[in-house]
Amino acid sequence: MTNRVKRTVPVAAALILATTAGLALLPAQSLFGPELPSDPICTRFLSMGRQIPGDTGGGSVASPNAILLGRLTESITGQLPVAEVSPGGSRTSTAVNTANLGLVDQYIFSALESAGIQPAEQTTDWEFIRRVTLDLTGRIPVPARVLSFVSDTNPAKRTALVDELMASSTWVDKWTIYFGDLYRNNSANTQIRRSPGGVTAFHDYIRASLQQSKPYDQMAKELISTQGTDSYKTGEINFNVGGVVTGGPVQDVWDQQTANIADTFLGVAHVNCLLCHNGAGHLTTLSLWGGQQARVAAWGLSAFMTQTYTQAFLVPPANNVYYWSIIDTNAARGPGKYSLNTTTGNRPQRQPIGAVTAVTPAYIFTGEVPQAGENYRQALARMVVADPQFARATVNYMWAYFFGVGLVDPPDTFDPLRLDADNPPPAPWTLQPSNPRLLNALTTAFIANKFDVKWLMRTLVNSQAYQLQSRYNGQWNVAWNNSFGRKLVRRLWAEELHDAIAISSNSVPTYNTTNYGVINYAMQFPEPLAVPDGLAGKVSGFLDSFLRGNRDDEVRSGDGSILQALNLMNDSFVMTRTSPSTPVSALLPSNIGKSNTDLVNTLFLAVLSRYPTAAELATASTNLANVQTRNQEAQYLLWSLYNKVDFTFNY
């Protein structure tokens, strides 16, 4: 259940993750003894500081188009360009405009002010278009769009760009992967197989829902309550198929399906704990709400699944794969109640409580029961989406993705009794969200905007908070990471790196996959695929090394590794695309005839979505100066760009 955690939290956020998940609320003595232990590692890290390099490497802005830059700079700041180091061929960052703060910004910037944290400056246009294009579509922007964007004088060009990106097919690609991760759409997990037929149907369902801008409450309702006789045809039933567990009674299946719903749509992973035991003594110090809950209340939630039968059927004639049906019935197959009659399985025995031998549905957070004759799962779906916690959890998942750390983090550890700033929990508990009023305002507005996911994304990425630089000109304290005073960087997803290398080099591969036809972009894989690359052997190892996860027991992660460095430096997927001559590479052969300055500018723009700084241009040009070694040096340069951290990261 907590494998959602790593998915959205980059390395930089991990300290917050480690220190906010319920620990901070406790008096130091009860946990640590008389005094807090000194922490040499943390101290050492903090003392390293984040100094700005003394040598900024040059005084003037390098660009092939001084006119463009001059106009650009004027249009944004009304000032001359400021000499700076990369990234950003021009420094046109600005201070935050505090005159007109929107929904997000009024809460973030007042919190920063009261905490005495100086926010970073606003992104340059170069930084912004790369960041937002990657975040919304998983692609790097193409050079022509970068140039047209920075030269655009429309003051509303950033919001226009956001709308343009969200209308693109690449937006659908990226978010199909995101929700495929969230719903764990894979052909096999530790317990069961969905098979490629199920994956395809589920993938198509997610794609179609995004293309239609389906309201998220409707999507959640469908995923929770749809019935179907064939998981290869009714894609959305594959969500509940993922709750099937073997080696136990049917209650184990209902419990896991319930836990998945609570985790995915309500961000309350502790329901899974309560399905085994009372909260008292287990969650007492972890969740104010959870500590008060009894197992029988969680059974009441699970009882919404008790009309539901999830069955596998072999696919003839081979009979070696199976599909699933999920059908609800009152009479024919079962009692429609949760019997307390188990002694074996994956969860502790369920035995009668006094005279009570079975539990009927009741929504754990309110006690609401289904209406007379109402289908249980439809009743559950209705209650879930009407629960403000549904909107709150969704807002928080999105926040965690766009800002690198959730307002509640990990995003599925919500404590429902510690969320209301006007009704704070009793001491020693503290409010759980890092900015409870912001979370509340976003939640209310998300509901008012009819659970429109695009509205939510637009609201987040159009905020000045999102558009702050990751560059910070001062001493940054890691404890500030959940103040959002700078943008936290994230390493590109495996799929993003793959596609960025392919697109920038004009060498997009063709994968003839066994089960899913021809696919060119990793961001279009229905699941984390092992793919052949006709050009360079297997690329699966390359993709896996960037921790794309398997939607089961390996979670997507933004961690770095030595293997990643080895692959970026030496893998044939990269090396063939840096060559000045081989047919695989298109970028260098088609530009090698340009002048040194043009060549350097072209390569920087194609790979890093920006022009070089003056210092970078000077360095690269010097290396290219010797005609004898020019081709070689051009390859070194292109290779270096693919290995620069401002390529590997969204910053």
Q: Which of residues 566-595 bind other proteins (CB under 8 A)?
A: 566-567, 569-572, 575
Pairing of strands 649-650, 511-513: unpaired
99 binds other proteins (CB under 8 A): no
What number of chain residues touch other proteins (CB under 8 A)? Answer: 118
The DSSP element (H or E) to which 19 belongs, if any, is helix 14-20
Contact 235, 204 (CB under 8 A): yes
Q: How far apart are CA 206 and CA 236, in angstroms?
A: 8
User: Which of the stretches 343-351, 358-366, 437-445, 505-513 binds other proteins when contact is defined by CB under 8 A?
Assistant: 343-351
Contact 609, 647 (CB under 8 A): no
Query: Could you check whether the bond before residue 583 is cis, i.e. omega within 30 degrees of 0?
Result: no
**Distance in Å, CB of 415 to other proteins, minimum:** 13
Pairing of strands 358-359, 490-491: unpaired
Nearer of residues 223 and 269 to other proteins, judged by Cβ? 269
Cβ neighbors of 34 (< 8 A, separation 6 or more) are none
Nearer of residues 189 and 360 to other proteins, judged by Cβ? 189
CB 67: neighbour CB atoms within 10 A?
9
Q: For other proteins, which residue of 8, 12, 183, 419 counts as binding (CB under 8 A)?
A: 12
Strand, helix or coil for residue 532: strand
Strand, helix or coil for residue 356: strand
619 binds other proteins (CB under 8 A): yes
Nearer of residues 24 and 95 to other proteins, judged by Cβ? 24
Task: State the maximum Cα–Cα separation within the chain, in Å, rounded to a whole number.
Answer: 91
Q: For other proteins, which residue of 34, 47, 55, 373 counts as binding (CB under 8 A)?
A: 55
Burial class (CB in 10 A: 0-12, 13-18, 19+), 232: buried
Q: For other proteins, which residue of 27, 37, 116, 426 counts as binding (CB under 8 A)?
A: 37
417 binds other proteins (CB under 8 A): no
Which residues inside 498-527 make contact with other proteins, applying CB under 8 A?
none
Contact 270, 418 (CB under 8 A): no
Contact 478, 48 (CB under 8 A): no
Q: How far apart are CA 391 and CA 385, in angstroms?
A: 7
Cβ neighbors of 113 (< 8 A, separation 6 or more) are none
User: Which of the stretches 455-463, 505-513, 538-546, 587-595 binds other proteins when contact is defined by CB under 8 A?
Assistant: 538-546
Q: For other proteins, which residue of 65, 70, 71, 85 counts as binding (CB under 8 A)?
A: 85
**Distance in Å, CB of 436 to other proteins, minimum:** 21
Nearer of residues 170 and 564 to other proteins, judged by Cβ? 564
53 binds other proteins (CB under 8 A): yes
User: Which of the stretches 54-62, 382-390, 458-466, 591-599 binds other proteins when contact is defined by CB under 8 A?
Assistant: 54-62
14 binds other proteins (CB under 8 A): yes
Contact 266, 412 (CB under 8 A): no
554 binds other proteins (CB under 8 A): yes
**Distance in Å, CB of 285 to other proteins, minimum:** 5
Nearer of residues 12 and 531 to other proteins, judged by Cβ? 12
Strand, helix or coil for residue 310: strand
493 binds other proteins (CB under 8 A): no
625 binds other proteins (CB under 8 A): no
Residue 401 is given by DSSP the state: H
User: Which of the stretches 145-153, 277-285, 435-443, 450-458 binds other proteins when contact is defined by CB under 8 A?
Assistant: 277-285
Q: How far apart are CA 511 and CA 522, in angstroms?
A: 9
Q: How far apart are CA 626 and CA 633, in angstroms?
A: 9
48 binds other proteins (CB under 8 A): yes
Q: For other proteins, which residue of 491, 548, 551, 577 counts as binding (CB under 8 A)?
A: 491
The partner residues of 511 in beta bridges, in order of sequence, read 519
Nearer of residues 280 and 421 to other proteins, judged by Cβ? 280
Query: Could you check whether the bond before residue 424 is cis, i.e. omega within 30 degrees of 0?
Result: no
Q: For other proteins, which residue of 130, 221, 347, 418 counts as binding (CB under 8 A)?
A: 347
Nearer of residues 222 and 415 to other proteins, judged by Cβ? 415
Which residues inside 174-193 make contact with other proteins, applying CB under 8 A?
188-191
Q: How far apart are CA 449 and CA 385, in angstroms?
A: 14
User: Which of the stretches 52-60, 163-171, 217-225, 415-423 binds other proteins when contact is defined by CB under 8 A?
Assistant: 52-60
Q: For other proteins, which residue of 5, 177, 266, 588 counts as binding (CB under 8 A)?
A: 5
Q: For other proteins, which residue of 112, 147, 268, 283 counts as binding (CB under 8 A)?
A: 283
User: Can you say whether the dihedral through the CA atoms of 589, 590, 592, 597 is positive or negative?
Assistant: negative
319 binds other proteins (CB under 8 A): no
Which residues inside 245-264 make contact with other proteins, applying CB under 8 A?
245-247, 252, 256
CB 388: neighbour CB atoms within 10 A?
15
50 binds other proteins (CB under 8 A): yes
24 binds other proteins (CB under 8 A): no
597 binds other proteins (CB under 8 A): no
Instruction: Draw the binding track, 121-160, toward other proteins (x: CB under 8 A; -: no contact).
Output: ----------------------------------------
Contact 328, 375 (CB under 8 A): yes
Q: How far apart are CA 435 and CA 624, in angstroms?
A: 51
Nearer of residues 430 and 570 to other proteins, judged by Cβ? 570
Nearer of residues 227 and 567 to other proteins, judged by Cβ? 567
Nearer of residues 150 and 283 to other proteins, judged by Cβ? 283
User: Which of the stretches 85-93, 100-108, 163-171, 510-518 binds other proteins when contact is defined by CB under 8 A?
Assistant: 85-93
Strand, helix or coil for residue 188: strand
455 binds other proteins (CB under 8 A): no
CB 342: neighbour CB atoms within 10 A?
17
**Distance in Å, CB of 257 to other proteins, minimum:** 13
Give the E-state strand segments of 438-531 in sequence order.
Answer: 490-491, 511-513, 517-519
Cβ neighbors of 108 (< 8 A, separation 6 or more) are 435, 438, 463, 465, 483, 484
Closest CA to 304 of 266, 345, 259: 259
463 binds other proteins (CB under 8 A): no
472 binds other proteins (CB under 8 A): yes
